[in-house]
Amino acid sequence: PELADAFIADAVEAVRAQVGGGKVLLALSGGVDSSVVAALLVKAIGKQLISVHVNHGLMRKGESEEVIEVFRDGMGANLIYVDASDRFLGLLEGVADPETKRKLIGGEFVNVFAEEAARLEGVGFLGQGTIYPDILESEEGVKAHHNVGGLPQDMDFELVEPVKLLYKDEVRVVGRQLGLPESMVERQPFPGPGLGVRCLGAITRDRLEALREADAVVREEIEAAGEDIWQYFCVVPDMRATGVRDGRRAFDWTVIIRCVNTVDAMTAEVPELDWPLLRRITARVLAEVPGVCRVAYDLTPKPVGTIEWE
């Protein structure tokens, strides 16, 4: 905590020196890195930070609400909330190919963000949640840097990257010290395209809603059980299975629970979840989530499976 305080004090100084009286724009997804950067920048420059949270309609249950609650209500941050759900879901209608879905979601995200940015005046800086492993990975050419380069070329901003020399666990310590809730600081990884790549195949609103509700149950139960699992979620395939409910034939969706432990997401193992926990999740999903008549647990390690299903 003392080290974190020292880091925060230095970072605040550095940001103030870099930005002066200027305005900083930040895409605030609610992930660990962007949340910590937002909290740090609010502390450093207050209302000179303009955060934009784009809800693409593929967020987990309660996630956008938490971003608003923590930053706007809790910290008095200057936060623009854009509910772009209809726009994204409209664009994705009928699109089943995973890579096409990813490209559409990523591209539309940039469009929405750029439109918001164009509405603002006098913004000279762009805040980013770049962390040290991002820099290492892009130097090694392992993957394109997902934090840099996603924005249109004509947006001419100077970058503000206050946590770019920190590792993930250090970012979490700083976030905690800045008063962010544990749910945010310890948030499990969540892909940029969100539930979009977990509602398999062509996304429909009703199946997406079933996925969101089932995902909330999985998270609640695993967290309540105190299980320490790296990533846990579910997917809902675009096919139906036969069941029987209240004495009548049902033909509904399957929720597949996916849990993995990993160090670097390159390989992953499936934890041996406590059987009563699996049974509780199953019972709740079947009782609480409309349109689902089956629950399965995915036993596949990576490799051969990937962590996500598409």
By the criterion CB under 6 A, which residues form the site for ligand XMP?
102, 189, 191-193, 231, 265, 302, 306-308
30 assigned to a ligand binding site: yes
Answer yes or no: are the C-beta atoms of 254 and 236 closer than 8 Å: yes
Q: Select 7 or 109, whichever has its Cβ closest to ligand XMP.
A: 109
Q: Select 257 or 286, whichever has its Cβ closest to ligand XMP.
A: 257
Query: Minimum Å distance from CB 120 to ligand XMP?
Result: 26
Helix (H, G, I), strand (E, B) or coil at 86: helix
Q: Select 143 or 248, whichever has its Cβ closest to ligand XMP.
A: 143
31 assigned to a ligand binding site: yes
**Which position has the token pair 């605040």?**
12
Q: Select 124 or 192, whichever has its Cβ closest to ligand XMP.
A: 192
252 assigned to a ligand binding site: no
Between CA 95 and CA 104 the distance in angstroms is: 9
Answer yes or no: are the C-beta atoms of 66 and 183 closer than 8 Å: yes
For residue 207, what are the contacts with CB-CB under 8 A and spacing of at least 6?
199, 236, 238, 253, 291
Query: Minimum Å distance from CB 45 to ligand XMP?
Result: 27
Query: Minimum Å distance from CB 231 to ligand XMP?
Result: 5
Query: Minimum Å distance from CB 191 to ligand XMP?
Result: 3
For residue 255, what are the contacts with CB-CB under 8 A and spacing of at least 6?
210, 211, 214, 234, 235, 236, 285, 289, 292, 294, 295, 296
138 assigned to a ligand binding site: no
35 assigned to a ligand binding site: yes
Which residue ranges are tagged as binding site for ATP?
A: 29-35
